[in-house]
Amino acid sequence: MEITDDKLLKIALITSLIGIIGLIAFTPTIEVKQVDIKDINRGMIDEEVRVDGVISDVAQSKSKTSYFLTINDGEAQIQLIIFESQVAEIQSRNMGIEDFRDHKVEVVGTVTQYNSEMELVLSNGDSLRMVN
């Protein structure tokens, strides 16, 4: 059996379609790992995680474009960084960053380290939600 360019193209197209269908089918089932704040460590840098806690402090950057929120889950706390683009997304939902103060939230963010402290960078504007 001789493999021609035409056969190779068909094989590549079929394989691509199977891969795309697989991605569409399995993407909704992929969940971000839920962790306790005390368990976040350097081995998790660049990993996306979900944490729950209460926003105990809200501070704005000197440039007034970013926010630093302190999330406390009762055992530990961590800084959440919200950049300008995420602030705009949150405000487009008719909410201000200050509205989250003293409320329980669910956050999805990427673990980073700054000045030897672990922090979370908000993934997108929809990744910060108030919970009851």
Phi and psi at 126, nearest 5°, equal -85, 0
The pTM of the full predicted model, rounded to 2 decimals, is 0.73
Give me the number of domains the chain comprises: 2
Phi and psi at 66, nearest 5°, equal -125, 165
**Does 70 share its domain with 24?**
no
Q: Are 71 and 51 in contact (CB under 8 A)?
A: yes
| Digitized pLDDT (tens) for each residue of the chain, 132 residues in all | 688 889 999 999 999 999 999 888 877 666 788 999 999 999 999 999 999 999 999 999 888 888 999 999 999 999 999 998 888 888 888 888 888 999 999 999 999 999 989 999 998 888 899 887
Report d(CA 72, CA 61) in Å as an integer.
Answer: 20
**Does 26 share its domain with 40?**
no
Q: How far apart are the first and last CA of the chain?
A: 64
**Does 11 share its domain with 43?**
no
**Does 51 share its domain with 6?**
no
pLDDT in tens, 99-132: 899 999 999 999 999 998 999 999 888 889 988 7
CATH code: domain of residue 92: 2.40.50.140
Report d(CA 71, CA 29) in Å as an integer.
Answer: 27
Give Cβ neighbours of residue 119 (< 8 Å, ≥ 6 apart): 78, 79, 80, 81, 111, 112, 113
**Does 25 share its domain with 38?**
no
**Does 52 share its domain with 109?**
yes
Report d(CA 105, CA 112) in Å as an integer.
Answer: 20
Query: Can you give the residue range of the structural domain that contains 8?
Result: 1-30
**Does 68 share its domain with 81?**
yes
